[in-house]
Amino acid sequence: MSDGISVDAEDVVGVLTERIEARFDMDMDHLKAAVAAAPTANPDATDIVKWHGHLVAAQAVLNRAEDDLLTALETQPSEVDDPTMGLAHRVNAAVATRDGRAIVVRWLLDPDALGKKALAAERLARLRPRTGPAVQTSAPQRLPGTPAPVPASRAGGAVR
């Protein structure tokens, strides 16, 4: 990864965690607590905490996959068998997942990132969770003297 993030797996999470803490001027534990207490107060912080959690989880999966692969390789003769190759593929998939989540966190941290301005930003804002109902939840009021609507099943004749 670029932007000063080392290729070392542990450094990816560490560097991004430091950037998050610097941006919000608090450590991750306090930021998580603040987001848990008021998730709608700062949607950017809420998104970053959520994706940082995904990143940390992906790193844990990667660590386990690497440990399993190393254990299997220690018991292998010179040729690698199919189950061990499967573990290698699992490590590759875990790296891809971790790196993808790191990219999302980096994007969330960058206020000038592509797609965060103008029309794209408006569209992104529409995707955020709403605080109220998206559609009217009560029946519209009828004017006095207007007959009630007849359900389609009673409107007459069989519907086919």
Query: Residue 124's pLDDT is what?
Result: 65
* Spacing of C-alpha 7 from chain mean position: 22
Query: Residue 55's pLDDT is what?
Result: 97
Is 76:84 a contact under the CB 8 Å cutoff?
A: yes
Rounded distance, CA 42 to CA 141, Å?
37
- For the chain, which ranges sit under pLDDT 50? 1-2, 4-6
The pTM assigned to this predicted structure is 0.68
Query: Residue 121's pLDDT is what?
Result: 63
- Beta strand segments in 28-128, E: none
Collapse the DSSP code of 105 into the 3-class scheme (helix H, G, I; strand E, B; otherwise coil) and give the result: helix
Query: Residue 5's pLDDT is what?
Result: 46
Query: Residue 39's pLDDT is what?
Result: 93
Query: Residue 131's pLDDT is what?
Result: 65
Task: Give one DSSP letter per residue of 114-143, joined into a string.
Answer: TTSSHHHHHHHHHHSPPSS-SS--SPPPPP
Collapse the DSSP code of 20 into the 3-class scheme (helix H, G, I; strand E, B; otherwise coil) and give the result: helix
Q: Quick count: other Cβ atoms within 10 Å of Cβ 25?
A: 8
Q: What is the pLDDT of residues 54-71, one digit of tens each?
A: 999 999 999 999 999 999
Cα–Cα distances in angstroms (integers) from residue 59 to residues 35, 85, 120, 155, in the given order: 22, 20, 30, 60
Task: Taking each helix axis as running N to C, give the angle between helix 82-109 and helix 43-74, from 0 to 180 degrees, rounded to the nearest 10.
Answer: 160
